[in-house]
Amino acid sequence: MKYLYGPVLSRRLGLSLGVNLVPRKVCTYNCIYCQLGRTTLRTLQRQQYLPIEEILREAEEVLQLHPQGLDFVSISGSGEPTLNSRIGELIRGLKDISPYPVAVITNGSLLFMDEVKEALLPADVVLPSLDAVNPAVFETINRPHPDLDIARITEGIRDFRRSFRGKLWLEVLFCRGINDNRDDILALKRAIDEIEPDLVHLNTVLRPGAEDYAYPVSEEKLRAIARQLGPKAVTLATKHEKRVISPLGPLKERVLKSLEVRPQTLEDLSHGLGIGEGELVQILEELSTEGKVTSRLFNQRIYYEALTNS
């Protein structure tokens, strides 16, 4: 698969087939915690970065091999998907060829644009992120394009919520000592109350990020923040349920595509792809020998990640 990956088990979306809309790593932000590393092209320029017709053809072929058992088709991938100017066409096309609901995982930074709001309206679930509303903290954690303004972004998410008929699940990712203090949480709560999302997913750094100083908050701290933010706030589980996943394509290719999306432990890969750990070890050794995969220690766990030149 060239533009799709998975299916993988997602903590938010269950068993999800992923769709990539931009090259790695084209984004409006350069977040310190990003599991894909630092942004290579930080831009606000919307254009057709990847061909929608080819993506839909590949999706149709893949979905024929997986006629049942998915929870979502999710648009996310290697950067900010709303930078693709034809994302609205893709959403409508996926809904024409697929029985599964379509989710869009976005940082929400372009929802102040009317054309982006309109493009996302056909989706079933939109998952924007909002890590901070204090401008200085926003600059520190998300390192946005210089033309972006957090007040405008927050207003864009709020306005989109008013017109969107699907589910809006907001995500907040906390980094210890950066956006987890009392004042920042109270400011976030005020913004969240205005947005009125269906759910607020609270997350923290679980994988190696762009910067070594992006530290996770404790699970206890995350639960305390959830209580402060109210009944819609839920902490994301760190463990996946075990489910049988039908194979799509050669195992080595599936492992590499999955690692191109995010660094993962052996356990993550096994749960997400439905492959036994013994078989995975052999595949990872082959990919490492071929110079396509490397590993590193983070938070006392070994993570595997695809090399960007693979």
The most confident of 31-35, 120-124, 231-235, 263-267, by mean pLDDT: 120-124
Exposed, middle or buried: residue 67 (CB in 10 Å: 0-12, 13-18, 19+)?
exposed
Q: For domain 250-310, say whether CATH 1.10.10.10 is its number.
A: yes
For residues 259 and 5, give the distance between their C-alpha atoms in angstroms, rounded to a whole number: 10
pLDDT in tens, 36-74: 889 999 999 999 999 999 999 999 988 887 656 789 999
For residues 46 and 21, give the distance between their C-alpha atoms in angstroms, rounded to a whole number: 11
Which residues 6+ apart lie within 8 Å of 110 measured at CB? 28, 44, 46, 80, 82, 83, 116, 156
The residue whose two tokens read 């102040």 is 112
pTM value surpassing 0.85: no
For residues 80 and 44, give the distance between their C-alpha atoms in angstroms, rounded to a whole number: 10
Fold of 4-248: TIM Barrel (3.20.20)
pLDDT in tens, 100-113: 999 999 999 999 99
Out of 13-22, 123-132, 163-172, 250-259, least confident range: 250-259
What residue spans define the domains of the chain? 4-248, 250-310
Length of the chain: 310
